[in-house]
Amino acid sequence: MQDEKWKSGLKLLEKYNLNYDLRVPCWHLKEAVEIVRLIPNIKVIINHAGFPWDRSKEGMDFWRNGIRLISLEPNTYIKLSELGVNGQNWNYTENANIIYELIDLFSPDMHFRKQFSCFKIKSYF
């Protein structure tokens, strides 16, 4: 996200009326706010709920801080997908709470992209 040529190329998305799917782990969400601000007329879709992989209290607080900051940008949207954690069983309660938090952050006024992944479905929501 630091490469100036890449940043210049990213701005071309507006010319072609394209969106940008932002796929970064939660430890890059704060940095990604700068990228989102570079392209204010482009819809930026945060992929996979911002990857809340670390479900410890500290990990979730870190994710919450980053996802909250990026949700304040008016051109951001959230994709509700990939809520599973590698090596762990599906946790309905944790995942439901993450979805509810994202709804609160991005609000019903914002657009949601819901993706039902082609990966193994472990639970229904």
Residue-range domains of the chain with CATH: 4-114 (3.20.20.140)
Identify the bridge partners of residue 80 per DSSP, sorted by sequence position: 114
pLDDT at 29: 95
Q: What are phi and psi of 71, to 5 degrees?
A: -70, -20
CB 122 within 8 A of CB 87: no
pLDDT in tens, 37-91: 999 999 999 999 999 999 999 999 999 999 999 999 999 999 988 888 989 998 9
> pLDDT tier at 108 (50, 70, 90 boundaries)?
low
pLDDT at 84: 85
For the chain, the average pLDDT equals 86
Nearest to 70 by CA among 32, 41, 17: 32
